[in-house]
Amino acid sequence: MTLRGKKHNDCEYLAAQLDGVVQQLRGRQPDSIFSSDEWNALYQILDESEARELLLPYWNYNYKVLRSEMAKRLYCDNPENIPSEARLSLESDWTFDAEQATFQMGGTPRGWCESFVAIKPESIMLLQIPTNNLTNFSFGDVADLVISITRRNLEKQNFETAFVDVSN
């Protein structure tokens, strides 16, 4: 069998494994308790497939977010539920997310914000709300939601003219 043929068979096997997991999860009763064994089986399949290079290197962004969310549940019950190597990595990610999860009032937006820059020097930032996996705030593929206003409209308390923009 050629390398290409083996890879094709491996991919078909992965698809069948994932379909089996999906069918099992769909068959669960809505009021069933969370089972870490079910999720761990899925993670093991995905990790092994990534190690065998069946999955492209960038495919797993959303998977890592989901895995982090599942790990938070286990961590809240008992941090020892997560192996120490994984726990250290996750805690580091969670700490970074927590530091980035701050709302900012006033000042200059973090990142590029087109409407804020376009009306400078009259622009005043009212609020910046970050995208953050820790808090489940998400604004699609952008970093933050930014609300700003011109100095003149702020002095008039005319908030109907505030700009809502995103920063990258």
Q: Is 125 exposed, middle or buried (0-12, 13-18, 19+ CB in 10 A)?
A: buried
Residue type, 12: E
Write the DSSP assignment of 2-46 as a string of letters. Answer: -HHHHHHHHHHHHHHHHHHHHHHHHTS-TTPPP-HHHHHHHHHHH
Q: How many CB atoms lie within 10 A of CB 118?
A: 11
Please list the rounded mean pLDDT of every run of 10 residues in the chain (168 residues): 68 84 78 74 81 72 71 83 81 79 79 82 88 67 83 93 85
Q: How far apart are CA 40 and CA 8, in angstroms?
A: 25
- Please give the pLDDT value at position 166: 83
3-state secondary structure of 83: coil
State the pTM of this model.
0.46
Query: CB pairs under 8 A, 24+ apart, for 20-29?
Result: 21/45
